[in-house]
Structure 1
Amino acid sequence: MKNTLLFDFTVDKSTNTVFVKREFNAELALVWDAFTIPEILDQWWAPQPWKSKTKYMNFAVGGRRFYAMVSPEGEEHWSVQEFTAINPKTNFEFYDAFTDKEENINSEWPSSDWDLNFSKQDGMTTVHISIKHKSLADLEKIIQMGFKDGFTMALENLDQYIEAQFKLRKQNRTSNKARVSSYLNFDGKTEEAFLFYKEVFKTEFIGKGIERFGDIPSDAGHPPVADGIKKMVLHVELPIIGGHILMGTDAPKEMGFTLTKGSNMHICLEPETRNEADRLFNELSAGGNITMPMADMFFGAYFGEFTDRFGINWMINYQNKD
């Protein structure tokens, strides 16, 4: 399947600026989070087979993201982004420069000023990016280093991340009957765990059974999944007792996940109506930490995610009827 998403990459040597216009098949809130939350950034920002590794990030005016591009052999190239302006869900700007691992800026390498603008229309999100360099020499050097190909690959990684996270939820949700499930994340042990649960509860997997990262289609719009994670579990659902559903996925380090106790499980509520989804989200999240506000997703669901004031992780997922 050919990727029809808009992508335009223009170099203007008269202003030492690169202009990028890229469309994503997702709601604005999801794309904004993908550009501003370090755990998500690290899953797509680097062109394969390199990986992005954020040491720290403070997404606030005057704050910084300090991160490295890491090769399969462990070679590291460090950079810093200094945030100079933020208008939530609309625009943010930052100064970008190469550094050493102690965060000292390397003045011999090109630096640039980034300006990113987000807009939405009909469930799609377009990101307009301008990247201005200090001199034509700096611009030409970064182009010679392969910036266009590298950034193109990174944006394609983001397409893959979006699909990997959300595509199967619609496939496995066939009605609007309310249900409650627990969503579990494992560091490569999902299959082992769910085969164990299957034996204990003497039930069968529902939906398409065990689906793997390798099942994600590889085409122009979805680059090949790394070999090391192809056999890992993308999604699985198992009924246990009382109508309760266990759902699970692997969260491989190769895609930037770092699991800790307390962050590897969510209670997922799937109410019958959109209004009930809003009520549950608003009341349960009061005083807590909202990680993804309720929003219409391109895969047909109305979805949100948060941690309540007691430290419990929740997902609210209302699946719109086709």
Structure 2
Amino acid sequence: MTVISSTKNPEALSFTLIAEFDAGVERVWQIWEDPRQLERWWGPPTWPATFDDFDFQPGGKASYYMTGPEGEKAGGWWDFTAIQAPTQLQFDDGFADEDGDRVEEMGTTHATVTLDDLGGRTRMTIQSDFESEEQMEKMVDMGMEEGMREAAGQIDALLAG
């Protein structure tokens, strides 16, 4: 299993997932910058993602939806706030309705992805920061922790292929 740890920190309003891969930083960076590769792992196996728009640059936006086992769709959006290839990216993340409009009442999380070189291997840290304790609890109750672990668990196969 690639996931080393997943930690909730209610005091800091954050959730952090750490995973390690048998691939260099440049290769792991590609799974973030290429929406077709991102689709192969973003979201748990039973809720695969499809990216409609993907403008991977600071100030750029992405929109996507995940399709559930019964065909139901859950929309999402990202606003890229910082990109420092190939070691870090940051984006705001939120939910979207069936028309792709932002669902403001669900709030916004801020994600920071950091890739560290471990001598040919890569450690990926994804930290999600929440607006409030209530938002964090709601996301955890919706299965965010398990979903992130399952999603990251698909990366090894993608990197090997």
User: Which of the five TM-score ranges fits, normalised by the shorter chain?
Assistant: over 0.9
Equivalent residue in structure 2 for 1:62, among 39, 49, 59: 59
1:298-317 alignment to 2 at 5 Å? none
| CA–CA separation in structure 1 for the residues paired with 2:159 and 2:46 | 19
| CA–CA separation in structure 1 for the residues paired with 2:50 and 2:90 | 21
Q: Which runs of 4+ in 1 moved over 3 A?
A: none
In structure 2, give the amino acid aligned to 1:68.
Answer: Y
Structure number with bigger Rg: 1
State the partner residue of 1:311: none
TM-score relative to the length of structure 2: 0.94
1:7 positional shift: 1.1
Equivalent residue in structure 2 for 1:49, among 46, 50, 57: 46
1:6 positional shift: 5.5
State the partner residue of 2:16: 19
1:219-258 alignment to 2 at 5 Å? none
1:162 positional shift: 1.8
**Does structure 2 conserve the Cα–Cα contact (< 8 Å) formed by 1:110 and 1:142?**
no
- Taking only aligned residues, the RMSD between alpha carbons, in angstroms, comes to 1.3
In structure 2, give the amino acid aligned to 1:47.
Answer: P
**Does structure 2 conserve the Cα–Cα contact (< 8 Å) formed by 1:91 and 1:118?**
yes
3-state secondary structure, aligned to 1:49: coil
Equivalent residue in structure 2 for 1:91, among 88, 93, 98: 88
3-state secondary structure, aligned to 2:152: helix
TM-score relative to the length of structure 1: 0.48
Q: How many residues align?
A: 161
Is the counterpart of residue 114 in structure 1 residue 111 in structure 2?
yes
3-state secondary structure, aligned to 1:108: helix
1:35 positional shift: 1.6
| CA–CA separation in structure 1 for the residues paired with 2:20 and 2:5 | 9
1:1-322 alignment to 2 at 5 Å? 3=1, 5=2, 7-163=4-160, 165=161
Using the aligned pairs only, state the percent identity.
26
3-state secondary structure, aligned to 2:154: helix
In structure 1, give the amino acid aligned to 2:147.
Answer: G
**Does structure 1 conserve the Cα–Cα contact (< 8 Å) formed by 2:55 and 2:62?**
yes
1:147 positional shift: 0.8
Structure 1: stretches of 5+ with no match in the other structure: 166-322
**Does structure 1 conserve the Cα–Cα contact (< 8 Å) formed by 2:15 and 2:127?**
yes
3-state secondary structure, aligned to 2:58: coil
In structure 2, give the amino acid aligned to 1:82.
Answer: D
| CA–CA separation in structure 2 for the residues paired with 1:6 and 1:137 | 26
**Does structure 2 conserve the Cα–Cα contact (< 8 Å) formed by 1:23 and 1:124?**
yes
Residues 250-289 of structure 1, C-alpha deviation per residue, up to 9 Å, x if partnerless? xxxxxxxxxxxxxxxxxxxxxxxxxxxxxxxxxxxxxxxx
| CA–CA separation in structure 2 for the residues paired with 1:21 and 1:135 | 22
**Does structure 2 conserve the Cα–Cα contact (< 8 Å) formed by 1:117 and 1:128?**
yes
Structure 2: stretches of 5+ with no match in the other structure: none
